[in-house]
Structure 1
């Protein structure tokens, strides 16, 4: 700032004295705020001023929380017209409007109040509302709550008035560094029964289901979570508003629509010093609007997740086989009322199929003053009515036309009655037919099982006699098609990856190269291409397809399909933006992206994925090759376990299995598996322990510094543990005294996981309880296995660290377990 002359100094001092008398939460018509100044609400909850988003130099006027450590903006004024420098000024114009000006007095934003006033002021309240009002009368001219950005605060309203065509809704940022209006918006839909909608570029992206006076019926496991209570008011004449309150005024809550279209209900956790996500929509694949098309129903526990309602069949079978279900389903048997309208044919009346625990479809029609029985009768007498339901707090709902956005819940949900032709119920009216069909199906199933088992054994024998692997693979894929796993063709994948251009190569694994690609529908994929020189072969390829196609979990990578043409064998996965954990964790430049919170989230996510494999899935699965390169990270650094080529299914009563073929990665294998071929849940726990120590230390298990090169990472951790210097193991980029206890606890758990004897290691559910501090007194760890580093001469290492050997060829004298 330049020097002031004596003639200019007196007015400046006068203005300064004037500003000292002004309340810090208010700006009046005689005042302004420049880029370096701000006002704070009376209770110091919110601050208004100029800011720049992360990774941006643009300047915006905004409101953010004042007393929390995470910079969190809740409202932006000049979203569509950023300032390019720090010359911005907020003031009240002579017409009484709030305006943002640049250094040349150009208007970059205005409150646009049409009625001109000369004595207005703007006050920032403790609920985050910026209110422009007339000083003399208190008349509110404008308020930020009526013009929200991406955040809904307690006492703020989302509203729709069909009479005036006025809407108050949230709009997402374009990106984390660009607050301009993005692709997503959230508001309340006032057609018939109020619902919350998330729109993407004006098209439905997610919906809440109808409001019954207490909850939205379409939100899975919905309850008034945490301390938050949602309220919807409908005047039944086209005006609806929705708001929420927090029963604990000492805590901060908000609903935010992020730039990717996710609606997040969050509260500030003082203990974690961060925002805690209480609820997220959309939550899973079935939450996306119309995933399964007309008369299709989505069930997250089924594979594939979409199926047709009973009495309906796939409209375009080819698209369904490819995993594109949006074409939906069509009725298999015409309704009786339709046949009577088109001919003189007579038959038995239509009936209704009851579906339970359902997210009811969109486009419901509400009938007032109708009881449950009249609701059914009213639908039956109207040929265009295809479904009805009666709900407490709402009354009678009916649907005509296509049923869109149905999903099956495992708990909660509502009942709905689907109209079907009488012929669809014939089998239920004849018990003898049912018994006959059941017995027949059972016999066919048993015969099919015996046949396919015999066929599988025959193929194995043919393979052992030297029959071509390609023939075996084609037979296998034909069986997989029975499970509706999409089969891609070579031309489609070559187009998606630009003919497997090296620029699209993501990495190289034991299986072969992995390429990034984009399908014709815009979906990004990762294509894993089996190399002829790969250490892995046909058996691992078929094993991975057979296993992962049956698994569904947020912490397991999702297999989208496979391809086999000639000698080409490929697996197609969902694309992970941040690639694999080892690519970031062990990179000196990128490892700074993984702060402690993200690393702990990764540790917890891997645990949840392992728990699903070991205990919660339909199949009990041991991964056998858990390591950093097999943990993929999505855009938000959420972990997903990948590479199931080595995985094995356990029988219902099996706890431990012995194999003569040990396959895995040196440094991650448990001693009982490496030396005796015994593997169990505790084998994966050992690998997880090594991985946990790598995540905390930022070091590879095989990259200990020169002066301690005789120690493995577990051995180094054990030495530092006994020296009471365990914090020396911690990656300096994540070190923070605030997290010392959590980090120490993770190292403690890691040492418990790498103990030599399998019986001493905790199982995954116990590990999760330890990490969540549900178990406070952790046992003292014993000396880890493979404390000293070694490489057995009879173990063949590939470039990727994969090893293969026969148990009878292992020399154990180089392995020191104690």
Structure 2
């Protein structure tokens, strides 16, 4: 580890050795006035002789920038740059002025504006002051009101007193963005900031992909950084994300003898540097991403990275490498898979399951907790957190860190690391056979379940005897042997062929499907999702079909399969995909759907060839798709024979036919409601992050308004051609919704539109769609419109715009 630090320190210090054209004279004070511009060769000096602002040229370049650095720093490490995103200046006739309109402006020798503060200024009585904390402020010289400040627009460095973070209500967000390279301060690929999770964590992104993360903030420190001191010792403090949707990180110098700065380097390293106030040289203090384990997802899903073990990556108890061949070559990115399927994922329709096989938890200590956690604010003790996870089949692990509370994981565990001295306890859900021991609590649960099962079996025996006498009961049929076949809307027998009461759906022979799909060949694959793979097929009569083959390792078991078969077979609408048949043979569970030539909507918006394919969707087609999806959802919520909540509305579940008409698909997670029912709770939170409504993701509450929220996200994605969860962090916005809210608040909503649609769009329709999308994604379910209101608003030609 020390060797790594030495090498890193040498390489990092080299970044600081940048040559500049230094000023040869100084302005008279720390203030810029309309009558006293700043020219090349001059500088402003803060009142305490701490910071300096002036022109500089990186490396051997002749390009000029306006920047700020510590005055006593011999390396002149630039901590802020004004015109990094604009064309650099050439020549020595440039100047920084306060314009006649009261704004800061950087102009070249031809009086062209290269950069401006663009503040909202009511008068021209403004001055600009360089303060001792390094903040360059523009203020009204009469009222003293600050109109603009450099601290709101950080570059690659965070100074004491500066904040980075977000406020989803106001749309304001700030990040650190690395230089492009050592000689070019233009924004580079690496961005550092806070996530909008509760609790927040800090992340360095490489473009849109996570590069490194700190783990969640516990009130004193980021829990996933090896050997980091508590916040008050290292200068870091985070204001936690609250219900108002705001969080910020500040960097303070509590020891007056030292000055510290935080930096995101050109290589993506998150660094802390310090120097004594009387010194003129920076010293390396801390850096993340020094070890291979610090790189995001080095070991793949469900795998643990360890600095002190060989090999670097290991599968935790109860797991095996997904690919032994890849692991033998030192490639661990495929991760690990379970040795034994969880009891929760087994088919429970047969009441004779063995209660002694109940899942349990295995404690793994000193862990950097996995990414993509969900915070359960209403679980006030570890027992409640554990019980919630155990009773929810989608919960794969939980933790109860000091200062945070209950965190649970409902998606693949990614970016786990075993720390040496620090870290948290992670409770990993395992099948009973992989636990090795049974706790007293498990024994009690097993006894209780055994008694319950015995009682239910007795009831079943009594019911069968009664059926033999009566021949039938309401909602059930009996065969000659007295076997129950449940034909209610919530359950069907293992083989739908034996349940004519549930639907008249054709049962297709498995061998016929194999022939139709060329034995499920790769060439026939249309796509792959969390529940399995979809293949193109062709029947003997030439009819083309889509074959959805559920994976044996997927989260969709017999329960979800039966759910999808029953629901789709009973639904008929032009904007819903049509079910043609199904197949159950052994472990095989297959759904046969109508074939959609244009596949799914996400392939046009975000797929591999989206840059060209999205051009096929002009505004008229997109608006028609939005309206079609809305009508399909309205049918599910209000107009079908069943009242259905889809629970997984997203672009990949919208199929497009030959004429680009949208059809909602994938009903594996859908749930039916009674006509009078408005709200339900589930112990299993399933779906796709980025589309889940807050009340559903946090507490399992779902309703029509959950689908409305997902529809709002989808609508904004269609308008912008940007994915909510993969939104470009280099654009300094946490996600698409944050960007949309900010533009709406600034009355710049049309800027959200995919610019390739500018010539084909109808501006009023674009604004109306953005407005409807934002109404749908409001935090509180009661504030969102119903789908009937959405359909009405989409067809209206009027709308209240900002």
Structure (1 or 2) with the larger CA radius of gyration:
1
TM-score (norm. length: structure 2): 0.49
By relative contact order (CA 8 Å, sep 6+), the higher-ranking structure is 2
TM-score (norm. length: structure 1): 0.48
